[in-house]
């Protein structure tokens, strides 16, 4: 998986918690159906509008709450990556472990407006607003974290290391399978 | 060596002399805990795991199974436990909310690292354990490899002073801290100081548990005589507790005068900068009252509720739900008569589960309803309808409010 992503951004506010992204009633559904309820209350209908390759930009304290594998629901929707001014660390780890690129960019919701095109390269830390021309960089993540993301998350690595059947390796790069394989959390 | 509690535990488990904020470390994990939800979708059985003696499975979130999907996970958990020889398997009947089961069975030990697939795993910080919630994929990975990585966050030290009044609980302390200081994303919380001795273990666990609600990484208590005695009573020995160094480096030290605290309540949506003393809240009617969860379904919480409810009756139009934190708590509360008193007052006592706290089963709230909860989260939609409002307070406040029908200071009921 690539560490560099370019796509249309959707801009959300601060303090979006996991109950707003993966409500308990959706935990009773299979992942494709559950994914239709991301932001069900905050922005109803968003999951019909988001397109594969789009990027979610949020404010501070993004992902406060539960260990539910919300990142995998974003991948299910085709979201290419998450950018936030500040991540809750559990939510950030879930993105890394699902192989979903995630970048912390202070002022992200000021730099980007909804519908802008953004480019984010975790490998170098560079970002650019292709619509406004603004650009800059953030500190690069530790190699160990970049390795997990570029492997497509932890489960493909486990297959490569012999903890899961090797033939599942490629399949496990799909979040749909990954979320089902590792189950859910709360 | 200038280390905080968390830094010291990380250093030990990473085989380093010194760890400080900003570093990324790879640490050995002493105990990994899987929960029922992990098995309820398409569980992939691993080919090998790190160590069956460092693994536990707790059935808690959806037991007894409210959906066929959840029911289908049970046999997979049983098969996995049997094939891999996992002795610490807390199946339905000897189950409980994982953080209570972890405490009861000595799975969280001072100075060690514990990982579990639930965001309230920070609860075990009450026992001086470096414990936090991790996602299902990561916990699966730790189960296989026995280790994981952490980015070491800066630490906020809460220096507790004075003596906690009897009418103030761990919940009230937490709600007050959350109201005053707000969120702590990418920060560790450390609790200690001379006032700690006046905070019993169950209150410490409420506080540690709720570090998750202010977005903290780890919330850890310093070891003391109260902890040593608690562990000794449960036959837990041979640990090596971690105290902070006298010259530990903190991002900030916040002093809390326990004697000045009073019962507190958080308004709906968040606990951060969203609370006030119960004595100052307007007359707020409630429809559902809930006492339970990993934070407040402990034996002492049920005792407090029973003492307030005994001989009284829940107000007309109010549902009071009480969920013991584990089957062991349930049985002990029954033996001590607490459940009798609670049920006689008109409350519904449920089996031990995470159920109502996370709005999955056992009493979700409907549109337009108001719930006063002594559980973990008051987020919009958390306990059912996004059009319901969730206030949060201590078990004493919830029990008193269930009797009057509106949010009530327990001191006015029991005085």
- Indicate the domain borders of chain B: 5-259, 265-409
Smallest CA–CA distance, residue A154 to chain B, in Å, is: 7
CA distance B112 to B223: 12
Output the CATH code of domain B5-259: 3.30.499.10
CA distance A147 to B250: 31
Residue A178 in this model has a pLDDT that exceeds 60? no
Residue B42 in this model has a pLDDT that exceeds 80? no
Smallest CA–CA distance, residue A15 to chain B, in Å, is: 9
Greater model confidence, B414 or B10 = B10
Instruction: Report how many domains make up chain A.
Output: 1
Are B69 and A28 in contact (CB < 8 Å)? yes
**Is B115:B194 a contact under the CB 8 Å cutoff?**
no
Residue B287 in this model has a pLDDT that exceeds 90? yes
- Whole-Å CA distances, B264 to B199, B249, B269, B289, B298: 16, 31, 16, 16, 19
Which CATH architecture best describes the domain B265-409? 2-Layer Sandwich (3.30)
> What is the b/e burial string over B41-53, where b = at least 16 CB atoms within 10 angstroms of the residue's CB?
bbbbebeebbeee
Please write the tens of the pLDDT for every residue from A130-171: 999 999 999 999 999 999 999 999 999 999 999 999 888 777
CA distance B284 to B231: 41
Q: Using 50, 70 and 90 to split pLDDT, how confident is the model at A176?
A: low
Please write the tens of the pLDDT for every residue from B397-408: 999 999 999 999
Which of A31, A86, A97 is the closest to B135 by Cβ? A97
Are A65 and B377 in contact (CB < 8 Å)? yes
φ, ψ (nearest 5 deg) of residue B191 = -115, 135
CA distance A68 to A27: 9
- Whole-Å CA distances, B213 to A3, B32, B177, B182, B260: 31, 22, 12, 10, 23
Smallest CA–CA distance, residue A123 to chain B, in Å, is: 17
Are B44 and A145 in contact (CB < 8 Å)? no
Which of B69, B358, B386 is the closest to A186 by Cβ? B358
Which segments within B91-202 are labelled E, that is strand? 113-116, 130-133, 147-151, 155-161, 188-192
Indicate the range of B37-51, B75-89, B165-179, B349-363 predicted with least confidence. B37-51
- Asked if A180 is an interface residue toward chain B (Cβ–Cβ < 8 A), one would say yes
Residue B149 in this model has a pLDDT that exceeds 90? yes
Give the pLDDT confidence score for residue A2 in this predicted structure.
83
What is chain A's Cα-based Rg? 16
CA distance A58 to A35: 18
Residue A174 in this model has a pLDDT that exceeds 70? no
Are B133 and A90 in contact (CB < 8 Å)? yes
CATH for A140: 3.20.19.10
Give the pLDDT confidence score for residue B135 in this predicted structure.
94
Q: Which of B376, B381, B412, B404 is nearest to B392 (CA)?
A: B376
Q: What's the mean pLDDT in B295-312?
A: 98
Smallest CA–CA distance, residue B309 to chain A, in Å, is: 31
Residue range(s) defining the domain that contains residue A20: 4-182
Which of B117, B215, B364 is the closest to A64 by Cβ? B215
Give the pLDDT confidence score for residue B312 in this predicted structure.
98
Which of A28, A65, A158 is the closest to B119 by Cβ? A65
Are A90 and B141 in contact (CB < 8 Å)? no
Q: Which residues contact A98 (CB under 8 A, 6 or more apart)?
A: A69, A71, A72, A75, A153, A175, A178, A179, B135, B137
The angle that helices B136-145 and A175-182 make with each other, rounded to 10 degrees, is: 70
Beta-carbon contacts below 8 Å between A and B: 178
Residue A175 in this model has a pLDDT that exceeds 60? no
B354 CB neighbours in chain A (<8 A) are 186
Please write the tens of the pLDDT for every residue from A108-133: 999 999 999 999 999 999 999 999 99
Taking a contact as any Cβ pair under 8 Å apart, which residues of chain A between 68 and 107 contact chain B? 69, 71, 86-90, 93-94, 97-98
Q: Which of A88, A91, A69, A93 is nearest to A149 (CA)?
A: A93
The angle that helices B201-209 and B225-233 make with each other, rounded to 10 degrees, is: 100
Which of A23, A89, A144 is the closest to B24 by Cβ? A144
Give the pLDDT confidence score for residue A183 in this predicted structure.
64
Same fold, B5-259 and B265-409: yes
Which residue of chain B comes nearest to A165, CA vs CA? B47
Q: Which of B146, B97, B104 is nearest to B127 (CA)?
A: B104
Are B37 and A145 in contact (CB < 8 Å)? no
φ, ψ (nearest 5 deg) of residue B385 = -65, 140
Which of A19, A67, A158 is the closest to B134 by Cβ? A67
Which of B35, B38, B44 is the closest to A164 by Cβ? B44
Are A154 and B137 in contact (CB < 8 Å)? yes
Contacts from B17-25 at CB under 8 Å and sequence distance 24+?
A: B19/B152, B20/B152, B20/B249, B21/B152, B21/B153, B21/B154, B21/B155, B21/B249, B21/B251, B22/B151, B22/B152, B22/B154, B23/B151, B23/B152, B24/A142, B24/A144, B24/A145, B24/B149, B24/B150, B24/B151, B24/B152, B25/B149, B25/B150, B25/B152
Which residue of chain B comes nearest to A104, CA vs CA? B186
Omega prior to B406 cis, within 30 of 0: no
Smallest CA–CA distance, residue B336 to chain A, in Å, is: 32
Which helix or strand (DSSP H or E) is residue B55 part of? strand B55-58
> What is the percentage of chain A residues whose pLDDT exceeds 70?
92
A25 CB neighbours in chain B (<8 A) are 359-360
Which residue of chain A comes nearest to B76, CA vs CA? A183
Residue B180 in this model has a pLDDT that exceeds 70? yes
Smallest CA–CA distance, residue B214 to chain A, in Å, is: 8
Q: Which of B274, B105, B242 is nearest to B178 (CA)?
A: B274
Which segments within chain A are labelled E, that is strand? 4-11, 55-58, 81-84, 102-104, 117-121, 126-129, 135-137
Give the pLDDT confidence score for residue A168 in this predicted structure.
81
Q: What's the mean pLDDT in B70-86?
A: 97
């Amino acid at each position: 998986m690539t560490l560099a992503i370019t796509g249309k951004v959707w801009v959300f506010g601060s303090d979006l918690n996991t109950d707003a992204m993966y409500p308990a009633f959706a935990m009773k559904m299979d992942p494709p159906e559950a994914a239709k309820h991301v932001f069900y209350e905050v922005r109803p209908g968003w999951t019909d509008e988001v397109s594969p390759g789009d990027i979610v930009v949020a404010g501070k304290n993004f992902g406060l709450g539960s260990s539910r594998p919300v990142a995998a629901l974003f991948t299910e929707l085709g979201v290419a990556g998450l950018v936030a001014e500040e991540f809750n660390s559990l939510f950030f780890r879930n993105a890394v472990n699902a192989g979903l690129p995630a970048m912390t960019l202070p002022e992200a919701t000021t730099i980007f407006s909804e519908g802008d095109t953004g480019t984010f390269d975790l490998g170098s830390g560079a970002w650019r607003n292709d619509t406004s021309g603004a650009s800059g960089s953030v500190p690069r993540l530790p190699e160990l974290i970049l390795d997990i993301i570029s492997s497509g998350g932890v489960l493909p690595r486990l297959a490569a290391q012999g903890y899961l059947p090797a033939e599942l390796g490629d399949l496990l790069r799909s979040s749909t399978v990954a979320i089902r394989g590792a189950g859910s959390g709360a | 060596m200038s280390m905080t509690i968390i830094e010291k535990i990380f250093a030990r488990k990473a085989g380093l002399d010194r760890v400080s904020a900003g570093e990324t470390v790879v640490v050995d994990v002493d105990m990994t805990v899987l929960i029922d939800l992990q098995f309820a979708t398409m569980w992939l059985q691993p080919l090998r795991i790190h160590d069956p003696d460092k693994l536990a499975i707790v059935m808690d979130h959806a037991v007894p199974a409210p959906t066929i999907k959840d029911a289908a996970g049970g046999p997979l958990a049983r098969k996995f436990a049997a094939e891999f020889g996992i002795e610490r398997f807390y199946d339905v009947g000897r189950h409980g909310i994982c953080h209570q089961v972890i405490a009861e069975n000595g799975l969280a030990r001072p100075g060690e690292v514990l990982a579990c697939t639930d965001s309230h795993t920070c609860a075990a910080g009450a026992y001086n354990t470096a414990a936090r919630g991790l996602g299902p994929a990561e916990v699966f990975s730790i189960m296989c490899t026995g280790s994981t990585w952490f980015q070491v966050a800066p630490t906020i030290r809460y220096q507790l002073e004075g003596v906690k009044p009897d009418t103030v609980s761990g919940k009230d302390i937490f709600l007050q801290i959350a109201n005053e200081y707000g969120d702590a994303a990418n920060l560790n919380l450390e609790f200690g100081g001379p006032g700690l001795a006046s905070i019993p273990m169950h209150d410490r666990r409420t506080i540690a548990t709720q570090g998750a609600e202010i977005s903290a990484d780890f919330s850890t208590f310093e070891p003391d005589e109260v902890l040593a005695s608690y562990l000794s009573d449960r036959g837990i020995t041979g640990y090596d507790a971690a105290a902070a160094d006298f010259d530990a480096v903190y991002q900030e030290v916040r002093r809390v005068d326990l004697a000045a605290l009073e019962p507190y309540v958080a308004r709906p949506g968040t606990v951060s900068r969203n609370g006030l003393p119960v004595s100052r809240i307007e007359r707020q009617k409630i429809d559902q009252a809930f006492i339970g969860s990993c934070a407040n379904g402990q034996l002492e919480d049920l005792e407090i509720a029973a003492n307030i409810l005994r001989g009284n009756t829940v107000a007309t139009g109010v549902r009071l739900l009480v969920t013991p934190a584990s089957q062991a708590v349930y049985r002990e509360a029954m033996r001590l008569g607490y459940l009798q008193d609670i049920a006689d007052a008109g409350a519904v006592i449920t089996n031990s589960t995470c159920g109502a706290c996370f709005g999955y089963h056992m009493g979700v709230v409907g549109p337009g309803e108001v719930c006063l909860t002594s559980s973990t989260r008051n987020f919009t939609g958390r306990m059912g309808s996004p059009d319901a409002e969730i206030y949060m307070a201590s078990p004493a406040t919830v029990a008193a409010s269930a009797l009057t029908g509106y949010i009530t200071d327990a001191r006015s009921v029991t005085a």
